[in-house]
Structure 1
Amino acid sequence: MRLRTARVPVAHLLLGLLYAVLLVLATGSLRHNVAELARVLFGLIGLVAAGRAARGPGLATRGRRAWTAVAVSFAVLVTAPLLRLALHRVGIEAADDVTHVAFVLALLVALQMFPAARTTRRERWKSAIDALTVLVGGSMVLWYTSFGPYVERHGFSATVVVSAALYPMGDLALLFSVARVLLRGAGDAARRPLRWLAAGAMVLFAGDALHGHLDGHGPVQLHSPWQFICWITADALLAAGALFAADALGPGRRASRPSRDVRRHLRAARFLPYAAVAVAHILMLGAAVSEGTFFPWGGLAAGSALLSALVLWRQTLVQRESDEQAVTDHLTGLANRSRFRATDARSLARAARTGRHSAVLVIDMNGFKEINDTLGHKAGDLVLIEFAALLRRCVPGPGLPCRLGGDEFAVVLPDLDDPGRAYEVAGRIAAELAPVVVAGRLVEMAASIGVAVSGPGELTHDEIVHRADLAMYRAKKHAPQTRWAAWQESMEPAAEPVAA
């Protein structure tokens, strides 16, 4: 058994240590000064890291501009004390609000610049609706915790709205922008930094919502230790996102393009709208219980929560069915070429981590054209369906039989302790091939099978499929009988001699 260890970069260790020290100091009497120091220090770390990410050699122009804008937002944190001092000197009392809003706006601009995956118009609408769902859920939290109580206590006016909602609404807009970028799909290298930025935005929103909540419920001590803990944590998470970006995109790294397979890469982000709906119903039920008015609003809120859960459950099942249809061959019900490629790539990557082998079988039916020509395409389709059923019987789990198109099939065999198991599967398929009755006639089924096995981390998807193809063509030389062959070095075409 291999024990894998991950090397943690020194910069991340230092950031964690700095955060722990500042967190302890924030509980003391000098917490306000500690928070100011933390903001400057984390701002410096974020500024340097984001600037390094923006200089990545393989980064696209739009991504370079995005991380440059992130660096500008961290520069606002660094210069916040000087900016507040200058504003106080000219008589502006709300200097803290100005610097906070400036930082949030700069980060909002940066998030709008991040390149997203190319999707259809319908997919863009879906991601926008999902992000709006997150925004509405966060707005309900804001109304329940801070804005509503503050308005009830002070009355409704423009001044009250700005005082109660300025901070959390800005953070909510920031959270919406991060959710939008994640739901649209960012490049592989930018995805992890954006998740840390999203975590920082969530904590920042929670801290400012708490501030508004305390301010809206009367003479309660503001700027308590755990408020400062929220703000310090938010700054640390944002700086961590910039550090991860520097590691993934900085000089010496190649930036990845936005992924086209948004659903597969965003398994966590797609649950954000469901979480927002759950939070909204929990707030309604909590309000009904706390007010002691379960009739009628408590029962209606409970019923609404149940109906929403059922609708979301049904939507999830429909979406899963749609996703399965997109990667399934409609005639045979086997996986299609797209799923074959994705599954094999994951199998090879997992084999590299676990130290196991992975194999691919490429199968081409023999004499299939003659079946179509003599019995018709309907009979040919029935033969393909029979062959697909044979593959299901012969391929053990977690192997995946696939139809690549026409009379060409493939099998992915992951997590093999012994390469010989792949040859056993090929032999089992060859042994099971037998005549079938189609349209009242006995039809011979035969195939040529090529087998290629990859050691841990040895081959890419294209390389292993190429080897299986070569082995299949070697077996094809014995057509029309069924044969299988394993890839050998001698099957590779000889290299062309280099002219002197």
Structure 2
Amino acid sequence: MQTWTRRVPPPRHRRAPAPAAAYLLLGGLYVTMVALSGTALVTGFASYDRVAELARFAFGVFGLVAAVRAARTTALPPRLRQAWGAVAACFAVLVASTPVLVFAVDEAGSAAADISHVIFVVALIIALQRFPLAPMNRRDRLKTGLDALTVLVGGSMVLWYLAFDPYVERHGLAPGVIVSAMVYPIGDLALLFVASLALLRGADRAAQRPLRLLTAGTLVLFVGDAVHGYLNGHDLATQNSWQFVCWITADALLAAAAVEQCRASGGSAREPRPGFRWGRFLPFAAVAVAHLLMLGAAVDEGRFSPWGGLALGGAALSALVLFRQTLVQRETDEQARTDALTGLANRGLFRATSYRTLERGARTGQHSAILVIDMNGFKEINDSFGHKAGDLALVAFAEVLRRCVPAPGLPARLGGDEFAVVLPDVGFPERAYELAGRIAAALGPVAIEGRLITLAASIGVAVSAPGQLTHDELVHRADLAMYRAKALGPDTRWAIWQESLEPSAEPAAVAA
């Protein structure tokens, strides 16, 4: 069956310009405030201190408005709205504390800064804990928790080396000194653990990108606090450009996360899809930082031997172990995405690839296509020649798909004798139809265990214009076309989705 009807693609929905304008305003504000802070740093320290605090105030107002809007969005789940309410509390603390920090005297200003920072961190911890995270089984949650603990240990070593140990060395081991030195580190480490756990696990579809921005801001905030601890531990000025640049950047990222949440809730929800996750590299970074700190400590003492050599050896051993673990993990991931019998992609990878293809097609203006393929006569092969011959027939059929489907198309086995193909970046629908014809022409008799077995299939083709269909809708159309081809007989046939294949809703309307 080689006839089709051309469909006029529906008009693409444009996103409202408000989120883009908000991002432009946020980016312009960030560049302006960093430039003003740098100028003030050149003109004088006191002026720089106030300008930097006013910069944080500006981001606090911006973030407060965006976070409140996200918290009041009824389309979001209640737990997620609570999370953005906690983020709004963070920005409210930032806005309320700025006048005190700008106009207070030294000791009062320092105490107010510490109190406001602790409240800010606690509110951010609550926000991260309230975010709905992606579901995981018990074993995956345990592995994610261990990775987060690895990051926590690495962060503890950073704060010990930069802040806590130098401060105690200079001021002694009095209880008041220890408590003062632990005010920032305890909150920062709790924040680092919660942020790492969220970044490693990932959010559900309602807040994927906002959570990435929020955790990125949290990690930058941790860096800024580490700089603050270093200055405080070495009795240096506790306000400097690097510290405030980190804090201003963290404020900007948190505000961008709130804007992104408003954008995501204002338009159509995205299809959930796995993607490249930077969080998986956090444990490796933590191990690398730990060894660099040990090497730095050996260099600071002026004695590379023996501690410097031991640090280098430990770093080399850790790198080898981590590299081997990465290879094992990659092999496990490939096995989880590959059909064991045929070597084609499995249903999970097929689904994820289809999501990415449709999303990219909506951005680039390209059509996307899916072919659903069902082998004809597979039960008879099993009944007549045995299950081993059936398995070999599946392998031979998969090899035909592998030869016929051009890159970057993805052939997959969905299960049993059902296969599928994802065809991205289809310049015109006829390309998908040509592929169906090529597969049909390639099928025929094959030799299996000394017998000649004819491979035949029913192929259904469905094409989506840019942004037109979701994955489930496209597969549904390809399924209907495949059943149409199967109804034409046992020989290899292929059919294209047409509106006439959809079940008619007219009888129900008449009955009503």
* Fold in common (TM above 0.5): yes
Q: Which residue of 1 aligns with 2:221?
A: 204
For the residues of structure 2 that align with 1:246 and 1:489, how far apart are their CA atoms?
A: 36
Aligned match of 2:4:
none
Q: Which runs of 5+ in 1 are unaligned?
A: none
- With 186-195 and 404-413 compared, the bigger mean Cα shift is at 186-195
Distance 2:377 2:279 in 1: 48
CA separation of 1:91 and 1:139: change in aligned 2, threshold 3 A: closer
Q: Count matched residues.
A: 489
1:228 aligns with 2:244: yes
Deviation of 1:52 after TM superposition, in Å, equals 0.9
Which of the residues 26, 31, 38 maps onto 1:20? 31
Shift of 1:82: 7.0
| Equivalent position of 2:163 in the other structure | 146
Q: Deviations over 1:399-447 (max 9, x none)?
A: 2111122211111222223433323322222222222233433222222
Q: 1:451 touches 1:487 (CA, 8 Å); kept in 2?
A: yes
- 1:283 matched residue in structure 2: 293
Alpha-carbon distance change, 424 to 288 in structure 1, aligned in 2, over 3 angstroms:
same
Q: Give the alignment partner of residue 427 of structure 1, picking from 433, 437, 444.
A: 437
Paired AA for residue 411 in structure 1: V
Secondary structure of the 1:412 match is strand
Cα distance 1:291–1:255, how it changes in 2: closer, same or farther (>3 A)? same
- 1:107 corresponds, among 104, 114, 124, to 124
In the other structure, the counterpart of 1:361 is: 371
1:30 to partner: Cα distance = 1.8
The one-letter code matched in structure 2 to 1:351 is G
CA shift for structure 1 position 192: 2.6
3-state DSSP of counterpart to 1:9: helix
Per-residue deviation, 1:469 = 2.2
Letter of the aligned partner of 2:411 in structure 1? P
SS of equivalent to 1:295: coil
Q: CA separation of 1:22/1:333 partners in 2, compared to 1, >3 Å: closer, same or farther?
A: closer
Q: Is the 8 A contact 2:53 2:101 kept in 1?
A: no
Amino acid in the other structure paired with 1:19: Y
Which runs of structure 2 are paired with 1:455-494 in the superposition (5 Å)? 455-494=465-504
What is the one-letter code of the residue matched to 1:268?
W
Deviation at 1:335, TM superposition (A): 1.4
1:398, 1:270 → 2: CA distance? Answer: 26
Distance in 2, matches of 1:243 and 1:350, equals 22
Verify the 8 A CA contact 1:56 1:255 in the aligned structure 2: no
**Post-superposition CA distance 1:170-218 (Å, at most 9, x none):** 2232232222122222134423333333333233322332222223334
Is residue 381–residue 389 contact of structure 2 (8 Å, CA) maintained in 1?
yes
Cα distance in 1, alignment partners of residues 367 and 268 from structure 2:
28
Candidates 147, 153, 156, aligned match of 2:173:
156
Q: What corresponds to 2:191 in structure 1?
A: 174
- Letter aligned with residue 121 of structure 2: V
Partner residue in 2 for 1:443:
453
CA 390–159 in structure 1, closer or farther in 2 if over 3 Å, else same = same
**Any idea what the Cα deviations from partners look like across 1:358-406, whole Å, max 9, x if unmatched?**
2222222121111112222222112111211222122222221111222
User: Aligned equivalents of 2:210 and 2:247: distance in 1?
Assistant: 19
Residue of structure 2 equivalent to 1:56: 73
Residues in 1 aligned to 2:300 and 2:116: alpha-carbon distance in whole angstroms: 37
Alpha-carbon deviation of 1:327?
Answer: 2.2
Q: Does 1:241 align with 2:251?
A: no
Cα distance in 1 between the residues matched to 2:378 and 2:349: 24
Deviation at 1:280, TM superposition (A): 1.6
Q: Quick one: distance in 1 between partners of 2:238 and 2:316?
A: 38
Name the aligned partner's letter for residue 74 of structure 1: F
C-alpha change, 1:477 and 1:39, in structure 2 (3 Å) is closer
The answer on 1:44 being equivalent to 2:61 is yes
- Answer yes or no: is 1:75 the counterpart of 2:92: yes
The one-letter amino acid paired with 1:11 is A
Q: Choose which of 238, 259, 281 in structure 2 pairs with 1:271.
A: 281
1:336 to 343, 346, 369: 346
Structure 1 residues 10 and 398, CA, compared in 2 at 3 Å: closer, same or farther?
closer
- Amino acid of the residue matched to residue 344 of structure 2? L
Query: Residue deviations 1:55-96, cap 9 Å, x none?
Result: 1121112112111122222222222257789999x9998333
- Amino acid of the structure 1 residue aligned with 2:97: A
Cα distance in 2 for residues equivalent to 1:464 and 1:325: 26
Q: Give runs of aligned pairs for residues 79-90 of structure 1, distance below 5 A.
A: 79-80=96-97
Question: Residue by residue, what CA displacement relative to the aligned partner does 1:311-356 show, whole Å, maximum 9, x if unpaired?
Answer: 1112112222222222222222221222222212221222222222
- TM-score normalised to the size of structure 1? 0.88
3-state DSSP of counterpart to 1:119: coil
- The answer to which of 118-127 and 18-27 deviates more is 18-27
Q: Does 1:407 align with 2:417?
A: yes
Aligned match for 1:327, one of 337, 340, 349 = 337
The alpha carbon displacement at 1:126 in A equals 1.5
Q: CA deviation at 1:6?
A: 11
Query: Is the CA contact 1:35–1:231 (under 8 Å) kept in the aligned structure 2?
Result: no
Whole-Å separation in 2 of the counterparts to 1:187 and 1:37? 35
Q: Is the 8 A contact 1:80 1:99 kept in 2?
A: yes
- Tell me how far apart the structure 1 counterparts of residues 26 and 484 of structure 2 sit (CA, whole Å): 58
Aligned in 2, Cα 1:204/1:430: closer, same or farther, shift over 3 Å?
Answer: closer
Does the aligned pair in 2 maintain the 1:401–1:409 contact within 8 Å?
yes
User: Cα distance 1:290–1:165, how it changes in 2: closer, same or farther (>3 A)?
Assistant: same
Change (3 A) 1:15 1:382: closer
The 1-side partners of 2:71 and 2:16 are apart by 25
2:230 alignment partner in structure 1: 213
Consecutive unaligned residues in structure 2, runs of 5 or more:
1-13
Question: For the Cα contact (< 8 Å) 1:366–1:479, is it kept in 2?
Answer: no
Q: Which moved more, 1:272-281 or 1:487-496?
A: 487-496
Aligned residue number for residue 134 of structure 1: 151
Task: Indicate the SS of the match to 2:485.
Answer: helix
- Aligned equivalents of 2:23 and 2:405: distance in 1? 46
Matched to 2:394, the amino acid is L
Provide runs of 4+ in structure 1 moved above 6 Å.
Answer: 82-88, 90-93, 254-257
Moved more, 77-86 or 330-339: 77-86
Aligned partner letter, 2:237: Q
- Using the alignment, how far apart are the partners of 2:80 and 2:247 within structure 1? 27
2:204 aligned to which of 176, 187, 200: 187
More displaced stretch, 47-56 vs 187-196: 187-196
The 2-side partners of 1:205 and 1:370 are apart by 64
Deviation of 1:54 after TM superposition, in Å, equals 0.8
Contact 2:347 2:415 (C-alpha < 8 Å) held by counterparts: yes
Letter in 2 for 1:324: E
Distance verdict in 2 for CA 1:392–1:18, change over 3 Å: closer
